[in-house]
Structure 1
Amino acid sequence: MVNQMLANREMLKVHTPKSARLIADGFLVAVLVIWWYAAKGLPAYVLPGPVDVMSNLLRFGYDPEMLWHLGSTGARVLGAVLISTFLGTAFAVLPLWWPWASEIVENRIQPFVNAIPSIGWAIIGVIWFDVSNFAVMFVQVAILVPFCLVNVTVGIRQLDLEIIEMGRSFTRTNSIIFFKLVLPLLMPFIASSLRMALGMAWKLSLVSELFGASSGLGFVMLNAQESGNIALVIATCCTVVIAYVASDRLIMTPITEYFSGRSRKGRIIPVNQ
């Protein structure tokens, strides 16, 4: 659960001994040394050294072309996360107003969409929409929607129906009940869905852009692989990791902590990520 995970994270920050941190840092240094030593005996197109990878990684911070590709991927990730969270929430709340929709959403739409593998969606997206930004976002949204749907559905099952019934005693307008009662109660789960979708979207971006994009980090990786620039391939993967960690720490962690704090006050516990 999100509240428990955040509490455990804070406890680890406080109680983690310095010796454990030194061991972790030493392990990282050892990996870099082993990598550097192993790369000396292999050609660059098989295993480039850490220096070559770092030089390519830094290009994403100053090279206009690389910045353009990074920005293209970031924009697609943001759009896919917002759209998939909106669609997942919309499908999840349908049974609140139309109970007969529960069978369609949970036992028809969700299993079908969730069963198609990621590579299948990538191929379908290219066939249907050719190489385009829409094809890339279609692939990401199609894969992310089921996860957001499950998360918000769990939130709906934990809603306090007595509060909703109390709201109906004041008004019979469904839109007012939804925006004043249901949506605030679901916000911790929606925030959790956003965070989960963001992490998955960065991972999916490479796969989707390999097949259906003329820009982005996946496109950079494909060109690097064709030209034998393995250092750039590894640097692109590292860029995705850095971008995910930065967006999670700077954007999603504050949002999740804000709604988790509100949920503790209201005794709402969102589903585990």
Structure 2
Amino acid sequence: MDAPAAVTAPAAAPVAKGAAAGRKSRLAAHLFTLGVLAAWAAWGASVESYQMPGPLAVAERLGLFFTDAHEIGHMFWSFGHIIAAVVISFFIGFALALLPWYLGATRRMMHGRLTPFLNSYPGIGWTMLAIIWFGVNDFTVVFVISMVLIPFAIINMREGLEALDPELLEMVRSFSRRRVRALLLLVLPALFPFMFATLRISFGVSWKVALTAELFGGNSGLGYMLNLARNDFDTPLIFGIILIIIAFVYSVERFVFDPVQKRLARHHAA
């Protein structure tokens, strides 16, 4: 009866070590968070409140934020700007990435001219041009975010197309008279991981662009509220908006993107 215990004990040791390492990692993360909060509170107590409000002042301002329907509305305007820009840039970028794949003569134009130009053009430049072209409105914000995200979509989808299985490509070519059908049935399923990666990258980058676009070229959204808070020296609101964005992006990454990525990894491993 002692033999099974002798066999299972060595196998249980790595599991116990892994659990202990996980506990230490979580403890270190919690201690780091507490240390940041303590340093923040100490700094806030040593300077004027408009320079560095403490955690309690920011928490109180956040409470006021979430009881004000007008301010909550600005938050949802930002969400709308982000969603619209991510969707628009994804479809435009995907279409532009497919163009050289179907029309080889456009490869140098797309990957040697247009993509490097879009990838290097600064977001603030698009913001200034969009204000001149379209004025200060929601379309300007969505346009700016989309123009910054499009090259990410082109590059990522291009990598996906170049990584396709040669046998799959040969099968697609055999459907030369039904290319759209071949694209839907053969190419798109193989590109799912790259499509997901494109959406994930675009979502993360879009928030960095959205605040600038809303700050200068928008009349709604969290970036617009940042501008109002700056003018009113409402520093707690500035910190509160930053915390809202951090919490939202972290939550989407943790509870939406991570599970989907794990499922895709299991599917392709199988």
TM range (shorter): 0.7 to 0.9
One of 71, 74, 77 as aligned partner of 1:69 = 74
Secondary structure of 1:48's counterpart equals: coil
Q: Which residue is 1:20 aligned to?
A: 25
Per the TM alignment, residue 183 of structure 1 is displaced from its structure 2 partner at its CA by: 1.0
**Paired residues of 1:136 and 1:213 also in contact (CA < 8 A):** yes
One of 141, 147, 150 as aligned partner of 1:142 = 147
**Distance change >3 Å, CA 180–CA 14, structure 1 → 2:** farther
**Paired residues of 1:125 and 1:139 also in contact (CA < 8 A):** yes
Q: Which residue is 2:49 aligned to?
A: 44
> More deviation in 246-255 or 50-59?
246-255
Q: Which residue is 1:163 aligned to?
A: 168
Task: Normalising by structure 2, report the TM-score.
Answer: 0.88
Matched residues, number: 253
Q: Which residue is 1:259 aligned to?
A: 264
One of 18, 31, 37 as aligned partner of 1:32 = 37
**Paired residues of 1:95 and 1:101 also in contact (CA < 8 A):** yes
Query: What are the Cα deviations for residues 215-270 of structure 1, in whole angstroms up to 9, with x where unaligned?
Result: 110011100000001111111111111111122233333333333333334xxxxx
Q: Which residue is 1:107 aligned to?
A: 112
Query: What are the Cα deviations for residues 150-179 of structure 1, in whole angstroms up to 9, with x where unaligned?
Result: 111111101113223224436631111111
Q: Which residue is 1:205 aligned to?
A: 210
Counterpart residue identity of residue 215, structure 1: S
One of 171, 175, 178 as aligned partner of 2:180 = 175
Task: Normalising by structure 1, report the TM-score.
Answer: 0.87
Aligned-residue Cα RMSD (Å) equals 1.8
One of 248, 252, 266 as aligned partner of 1:247 = 252
Query: What are the Cα deviations for residues 120-175 of structure 1, in whole angstroms up to 9, with x where unaligned?
Result: 11111111111111100110000011111111111110111322322443663111
Structure 1 CA distance, aligned partners of 2:43 and 2:97? Answer: 51
Structure 2 CA distance, aligned partners of 1:138 and 1:221? Answer: 20
Higher RCO (CA-CA < 8 Å; seq separation 6+): 1
One of 115, 132, 137 as aligned partner of 1:132 = 137
Counterpart residue identity of residue 241, structure 1: I
Structure 1 CA distance, aligned partners of 2:91 and 2:38? Answer: 46
Structure 2 CA distance, aligned partners of 1:23 and 1:251? Answer: 25
Counterpart residue identity of residue 209, structure 2: L
Q: Which residue is 2:243 aligned to?
A: 238
Secondary structure of 1:100's counterpart equals: helix
Counterpart residue identity of residue 24, structure 2: S
Q: Which residue is 1:6 aligned to?
A: none
**Paired residues of 2:58 and 2:236 also in contact (CA < 8 A):** yes
Counterpart residue identity of residue 29, structure 2: A
Counterpart residue identity of residue 140, structure 2: A
Structure 2 CA distance, aligned partners of 1:146 and 1:34? Answer: 39
Counterpart residue identity of residue 130, structure 2: G
Q: Which runs of 5+ in 2 are unaligned?
A: 1-17
One of 196, 216, 225 as aligned partner of 2:230 = 225
Structure 2 CA distance, aligned partners of 1:158 and 1:182? Answer: 11
Q: Which runs of 5+ in 1 are unaligned?
A: 1-12, 266-273
Per the TM alignment, residue 53 of structure 1 is displaced from its structure 2 partner at its CA by: 0.9
Structure 2 CA distance, aligned partners of 1:169 and 1:41? Answer: 72
**Paired residues of 2:172 and 2:179 also in contact (CA < 8 A):** no
Larger Rg: 2
**Distance change >3 Å, CA 171–CA 121, structure 1 → 2:** closer
**Distance change >3 Å, CA 221–CA 95, structure 1 → 2:** same
> More deviation in 21-30 or 97-106?
21-30
